[in-house]
A and B are shown apart, each in its own frame.
Chain A
Amino acid sequence: MDNFAILYENLLKFSWQDIVMILLGCLLIFLAIKKEMEPSLLLPMGLGTILVNIPGSTALIGPIAELYEAGIANELFPLLLFIGIGAMIDFGPLLSNPKLMLFGAAAQFGIFFTLSMASIFFPEAKDAASIAIIGAADGPTSIAVANTLGSNYVGAITVAAYSYMALVPVIQPPVIKALTTKKERMIRMPYEQKSVSKTTRIMFPIIITVVASAIVPDATALIGFLMFGNLIRECGVLDSLSDTAQNVLANLITIFLGISVAFNMVADKFLRVDTLLIMGLGLIAFIVDTAGGVLFAKLINVFSKKKINPMIGAAGISAFPMSGRIVHKMGLAEDPQNHLLMHSIGVNVSGQIASVIAGGIILSMFGG
């Protein structure tokens, strides 16, 4: 009879917490496949969550732990992913109108507001700061900052960051509508196509790296890898590498990143009231980011003769390129002739830059 024990003895080790986590893993996989919510990340995360919550799992102490140590604990995976993201971004619309970058800066307000909010519930500055960076609306930045600060909540922060990025089409429109009038949403912004020289396109990533890193040295790795990817794209002599960075590298790292983040998705680290708080604070961060961008655009309109459609400010949240597209669609819904895409995408890529700089600032403040 003892020989049959092997069939059931591990089953008896399952706790209700393990089962809840396995169901959560299934939910992530469901959302990834059925709802197409950031499927490239949520699917590997979901399966990883199942793997690490099976009692006696060899995945937790074996390959997933190794991948975590090799790629997340030292920030390598998020940084490598930035090369791919940098190679995907066309800074052309931004270079045509560099002032759009101001909206990217304004839309980081949610990060710092959430830092204050999180300090109400989390005594340790490293945790409050890591939760605040969910407002960067940029998964790799959130993972890199939370890990560097040694937060106890990396798993929950990653889930919140990617979930809300996928929910940007649900979160942003009501906030934008609440803060703008129909008349404001109908403001037309004709796009003046300005030619941007190849030299400018090549110098831009180098200049951003130098300027941002000189003032915020903690952002050097984040901004440097992002701009490295963009330099590969724009230099014109590395098309093959650019293609690899945009596709193969980004996909490969996303697979490893997703499954190794699950290292933090074990029941005793995740099933806490704190996780619900983090999800709530992450939502606040996204809402305040959106509001910050919109209200800043409205403020500019008070002083400017040439009116700006305040909706484009919302695209400064990062979440590239989804946020830019949402603003464009909202513009078309109000007025079918109002094409805001080039402006909103310009603001959106500036949000990507500003969110990385904000991550560096948070590291400077709390990385000590």
Chain B
Amino acid sequence: MTTPVLDVRDLQVTFSTREGLVTAVDGVSFRVDAGEVMGLVGESGSGKSVTGLAVLGLIDPPGRIAAGSIKVKATELVGQSEKALQKVRGKDVAMIFQDPMTTLNPVLRIDTQMIEAIRAHEQVSEKAARERARDALAKVGIPSPEERLNAYPNQFSGGMRQRVAIATALLNRPAVLVADEPTTALDVTIQAQILSEVQALCAETGTALVWITHDLSVIAGLADKVAVMYAGRVVEEGPVADVLERPIHPYTAGLIGSVPSRNKRGVPLAQIPGMTPQLSKLPPGCPFAPRCGYSTDPCRTIRPERTPYPGGRAARCHNPLDVPPNTPKADAARELTP
């Protein structure tokens, strides 16, 4: 087996808060190969964004990486000095955020920002850097890139701004790109444009892509494999098609059932009762047990371990489903009224 481009092992991120130490990410492991797309799915507070930030070494106090390892091209990032991380960040690992204005400086022109990003990592002339910036803009589908280089971020529309952020992230041909819900705020047609461009760019450059989202349907079309997070843990992982067709974990099944669509019109959606637990007050057993239709006594006392299943899959569940979501077994769990 080849060395994965991104290898995250037993990552644990904690935040010290007034309510005590909160473990936002607890024992997360995954690996992404070159050119591969991994979807990291979860609801608010599941730890998916914190995982993404940890990969870039962007966890600030009161948060810290308490344990685990993050390797990019076999280089360990955890424990590195800020100076060493700056060399990696933007070069080997890059990130796109939900709001492109997180990336872009509103008072600097696009060319200034893009040239800076190139020259921070490489000894090239300003002219050469500008040319590369222009090519990058053209590649993400920005019309008349030469003129647009002289524009300020506020002169772009939302979709165009996100493209500029993507072009900037890809400037130094990173080995790993972490994308945190970059299309959530965009219209469907613009989302499709950006998805198609990111897809093409990553295939072309062999960039490993981690796509963080709450939207399972985006993952369905984009990713090769998926990891579903709940309360700081990966509760299920595997190839996208398999996970969506035959979810093992009841939470995954619940998420799939919650997605509104035509074949469920008029009928109530298979909703998950209750809401996501507070990380500071997690139950001793499986964090999902209070909302789960299949929970039994062990679920409430013993935290489920990661169990591998055939076909490169794994889940943390005492009562794995392993049945398609529309069989009678899943219907039985359907909660009809709130």
| B partners with A | no
Binding site for A on B (CB under 8 A): none
